[in-house]
Structure 1
Amino acid sequence: MAQSLETLTAALLMAAKSAGADTADAIAVDGTSVSIDVLNGKLEHAERSEGIDIGLRVMIGQRQACVSASDTSPDTIQTIAARAVAMAQVAPDDDSIGLADPAQLASGWDAEALELYDPAPEPDPATLEENARRAEAAALATTGISQVQSASSGYGQRRIHLATSNGFSGGYARSSISTSCVAITGSGADMERDYYGDGRIFAADLESPEYIGEMAAQRTIERANPRKAHSGAYPVLYDERVSSSLMAHLLAAINGDSIVRGSSWLRDGLGEQILPTTMSLIENPLRPRTSSSKPFDGEGLPATPRSIIKDGTLTGWTLDLATARKLGLQSTANASRGTSAPPSPSVGNIALTQGDKSRAQLLADMGTGLLVTSLIGSSINATTGDYSRGAAGFWVEGGEIKYPVNECTIAGNLRDMLATLIPANDARSHLSRVVPSLLVEGLILA
C-alpha cells in the first residue's frame, strides 16, 4: 500500500534529524493531470501524468539546503537527507533562515470549508474529449469562423502535506477542471484569432462547452479587419480579461524579495497613496471555491485576510519569514513553497474595489481612446515603474467602439497610471484575481 503523505513527511524529518540537521521542514505532493486536445472533431492529443514529489529543507545553524526527489523509497529518503545536510554544511550563513516560532503556527483550520476539492468522481477521458469537441463545434457553427486552432479540456487534482520539525503537520487537497477554445477568422495574412476558456474547482460550476466555443468565436469575429490606432495621449480602458495585469505589476513591486533588494519602484511607498482613495486591494486566502485559497502558507502560518491597500494607501509588503526578518517585520503568511526550493513570498486571491458603472458606461465617459483586450510582451522597469506593452483591442470614438486595432504600444508610468484608475463593475467573483475593467487616463499610444 502506498504511504500517506503525512507518513512520508514524517519519515523525511526523521531522516534529516538522523543525518545531523538542527531543524527541517518537509513537503510531499501527489497529483494527477489529464489533458485532451481536439482538432476537426477528432482527438488530436491525450496526456495523463501521475506522480509523487517530496522535498526536504534542512537547517544547520544559519545555513540551509533543499533537496527533492520523485522516488519515495526508504533508501531514497535517507540518501536525500544525507545530501541535504552535506550541502547545508557548506552553504553561506544567512541570519534570516529559520522555522516559525511554534506559537506562530496554524492550528484548528478547516480545509473542507474552503471547498478546494470536488468530491465527484474524476471525469473519464471520453467526457473531457466530448467537452472539447462540443466547444469546437459551437465555434465552427458561428458565421465568420474559418477554423478552430485548438479546443482543449483538462482535469487535475493534487494533495499537499507540509510538516516541520518543531511541530507543524497539515495538508489539504485541491482539484480543477477546464475547457478552452481558440478560434480563427479570415485566411492567409488576414487571419485573426481570439480565445475563451473557463476553469473551476467544481465541475458543476464550469460553463458549458457551447458557451465557451461561442464566446471564442464572438471575440474572434470582433477582431476581424483591424486597423492602426491613433498616436498620442489618450485614455485607455483595460478590459476585465486583462485588467488584472495592472494589479500583478503592483503586487510584484510590493513583494518582499524586491523590497529587500531595493529594486522596486514602490520601495519607499509604504503608507503612501497608491490608488484613488475610493479603492482598496484585499487579499483573502480563505475565499471558498477559489483556486488560490489555502488554510495555511508554505511555512505553516495560518492564512488570514489582509488589506494590501486600504482606501488607496499601501499598508504593507508581501512577506514570508525570511524577508520579514530581513526587514525587521512580521511575516504576512505569504510563503509559497515547492519541493525543490526554499519558501518565497507570493500573493494568491485578491479583490479590487469595484465601481458603480458598467464597462459600456466607462467607454461613454472616456469619449475617444483605446479599449485593450489583449496585451503582448512586456517592458516594465522594476526600479522606476516605467511601463510599455504591446496591445490590441478596439478604437473608441464618441464613447462607442468603432473598429478593432492591433500592433500598437501603450506607455506610461505605473505610479501615475494606478493613481488615476476608475473601476467598472464587471469583475468575475469566482476568479482568484477579482479585478474589474479599469480606465486609465493619459497613456501614450503609438
Structure 2
Amino acid sequence: MTDQNASAGLGAPDTRSLLSLAHELVDRAKAAGAQDAEALLSESRAIEAGVREGKLETVERSETRDAGLRVLIGKRQAGVAFSDLSEAGMSLAVERAVAMAKAAPEDPYCGLVEPDKLARTLPDIATYEASDFTPDQLEAAALEMEAAALGVKGVAMTSGCGASAGVGGSAFVTSTGFERARLGSRCGLGVAAIARDASGAMERDYDTHAARRRSDLKTAQEIGLSAGERAASRVGAEKLATGKMAVVFDKRVSTTFISSLLGAISGPAIARGTSFLRDKMGERLFSEGVDVIEDPLRDWSFGARAVDAEGIACTPRALIEDGVLTTWLLNASSARQLGLELTGHASRNLGGAPGVGSSNVHLSPGELDRDGLIEAAGTGVLVSEMFGPSLNANTGDWSVGVAGYAIENGKLAGPVSEITVAGNLLDIFARLVPGSDLEFDSSINAPSVLVDALSIGGR
C-alpha cells in the first residue's frame, strides 16, 4: 500500500527499489534472530544555487540514501541507522542491531503495533510534483531575489541568497505485514538582507518561502523586496522601557505557541509527568471559539501523511476545540503506558524507537487582521523575530529575546531590539487572540496573535 501512487518523475527516487530493500532488511533481521523488525529507507536529491553581489557563488547538488532498522526480541529492542546499502553494509547493520537488542534492558511498553490496528486502505495525498527546475533557473531566481532586496533604500548587502529544489522518497516495512512508500517534492527561496544608516549602524532581516509545487511558490521579487524592507525598517532600533504591556506576535513567530502546545501534549511527556499540561485533559486552555486543528490529509502540505510512523491511520481532528484540550499525541509506547487508544501520532526516528509528532497543525484564524490586532493593543510591541526561547516544561514559564516595533496609540512606531518577553504559557494561552492573516506555508501554521499584559524586560 502507498500514501501516493505517483510514479518516479524526473529525478525522483524509485520507491519500488526502496520498498524492496526495506523488505530485505526485515527478512534478514528475522533470519538473524529478531522476533519482529521494521525498516525505513529514505532517498533525497536536491540542487541549490547561491548568489552574492550579482554573481553566482555556489551550485550544490546532493543525493543521500539512508536506512534505519529496529529489531525486537521479547521486550528488548535496538536500532541502527546507516547508509551503506551494500551486501556487507546491510549484513553488518543487521548483525549489530540483533546483538544490541539481546543486550538491551527490557522495556515493558515496546513493541510493534498489533496487526489488527494497522491501516489497510490509505487515501492518496498530493505531495509530489516532478521538478522541472534547472540550475540556470535557480540561479536566475536567486539573482532576481537579491536584486529586489538591494533595490530597497538603505539595504547595503545580502548575507545569503539562494534558490533550491528537491525531491525525496521513502519506504517503510514491518514484519507484521505493513508497508508504505511515498514521494515528496520541495522548492524554496530565501534571502537575508543587511541595511545600514548614515552612522554605520546595521541591521539584518530575512524572508523565505517554500512549497511542494512550483505554482505555489512566492515570486523571487516578492521575497527579495520583503527581506529588504524588513531589514531597512529595523535600522535605528532602541530598547523599550521595562513593564507590562500588550504584545502582538507576527505570524512568522506566533507558531512558537503552537509548537509549545504540541510538545506539552506529547504522550511521552504526559507519561513521564514532565508537562505543564499533564492534568489539563478536557479543560479549557484557550478562550471560547479558539481552535487548533490538525489536518494530515491536506494536499500539497508539508505535514501531509495518511499514516503515522507505526502504520496507524491519520485523521483530521481538533486538538483544541472551542478552547478545550481534546487529546494527547500518542505513539504505541506511550499509549500502552497510559492505557489509551492510539491516535496516529508516531514519528519516525531513523534507527530508533518511534517518537511522537503531529502533522499539519494550524491555529484557526480570528476576525482582526494584523493591523487590527495592533490597534487593539494600543500601547505595546509587535514582535517580528525571536532569539533563544526558554521554556520550563514542568511549569510552563516561558521567556524569549525579541526584536520588532513599538506600538503607540494603536500604530506602529520605531523599531526595538534587545528586549525580553516573558510569561506563563497557561496564562498566554488563556488570553491569546488570533488574527485573520493565516497562511499555510509549513507543517505548523498560525496567524498573528495578540496577548495582553506580558512582562517586557528592556531598559
3-state SS of the aligned residue for 1:155? strand
- Are 2:96 and 1:67 aligned? no
Native 8 Å contact 1:11 1:77 kept in 2: no
CA displacement, residues 267-306 of structure 1 (integer Å, 9 cap, x when unaligned): 1111111111110111111111101111211111111112
Aligned pairs for 1:111-122 (under 5 A) are 111=124, 114-121=125-132
Whole-Å separation in 1 of the counterparts to 2:143 and 2:440: 28
Whole-Å separation in 1 of the counterparts to 2:412 and 2:64: 49
41-50 vs 234-243, greater mean Cα deviation: 41-50
CA 1:430 to 1:379, structure 2 compared with 1: closer, same or farther past 3 Å?
closer
Whole-Å separation in 2 of the counterparts to 1:70 and 1:429: 33
- Are 2:123 and 1:131 aligned? no
47-56 vs 1-10, greater mean Cα deviation: 1-10
- Structure 1 equivalent of residue 188 of structure 2: 178
Whole-Å separation in 1 of the counterparts to 2:131 and 2:259: 33
Residue 174 of structure 1 deviates from its aligned partner by 0.5
3-state SS of the aligned residue for 2:120? coil
- Structure 1 equivalent of residue 261 of structure 2: 250
Q: Which runs of 5+ in 2 are unaligned?
A: 1-12
34, 48, 65: which is aligned to 2:61?
48
Give the letter aligned to residue 82 of structure 1.
E
Give the letter aligned to residue 101 of structure 1.
E
Give the letter aligned to residue 42 of structure 1.
K
Whole-Å separation in 2 of the counterparts to 1:257 and 1:35: 37
Give the letter aligned to residue 180 of structure 1.
G
- Structure 1 equivalent of residue 373 of structure 2: 362
Give the letter aligned to residue 153 of structure 2.
T
Identity rate of aligned residues, in percent?
A: 38
407, 414, 417: which is aligned to 1:396?
407
83, 91, 94: which is aligned to 2:96?
83
Native 8 Å contact 2:331 2:354 kept in 1: yes
269, 272, 275: which is aligned to 1:264?
275
Corresponding residue pairs, total: 443
Give the letter aligned to residue 175 of structure 1.
S
Residue 430 of structure 1 deviates from its aligned partner by 4.2
- Structure 2 equivalent of residue 140 of structure 1: 150
139, 156, 171: which is aligned to 1:161?
171
Native 8 Å contact 1:174 1:201 kept in 2: yes
3-state SS of the aligned residue for 1:161? strand
232, 246, 251: which is aligned to 1:235?
246
Whole-Å separation in 2 of the counterparts to 1:327 and 1:400: 49
182-191 vs 335-344, greater mean Cα deviation: 182-191
- Are 2:36 and 1:23 aligned? yes
Give the letter aligned to residue 143 of structure 2.
R
Aligned pairs for 1:324-403 (under 5 A) are 324-403=335-414
- Are 2:123 and 1:110 aligned? yes
Whole-Å separation in 1 of the counterparts to 2:64 and 2:208: 27
320, 340, 357: which is aligned to 2:331?
320
3-state SS of the aligned residue for 1:149? strand
Residue 432 of structure 1 deviates from its aligned partner by 2.3
Whole-Å separation in 1 of the counterparts to 2:179 and 2:388: 41
Give the letter aligned to residue 128 of structure 1.
L
70-79 vs 377-386, greater mean Cα deviation: 70-79
Give the letter aligned to residue 218 of structure 2.
E
Residue 41 of structure 1 deviates from its aligned partner by 1.1
Native 8 Å contact 1:289 1:430 kept in 2: no
Whole-Å separation in 1 of the counterparts to 2:375 and 2:81: 55
3-state SS of the aligned residue for 1:441? strand
CA displacement, residues 181-232 of structure 1 (integer Å, 9 cap, x when unaligned): 1111116861011111110000121111111111111111111211111211
Q: Which runs of 5+ in 1 are unaligned?
A: none
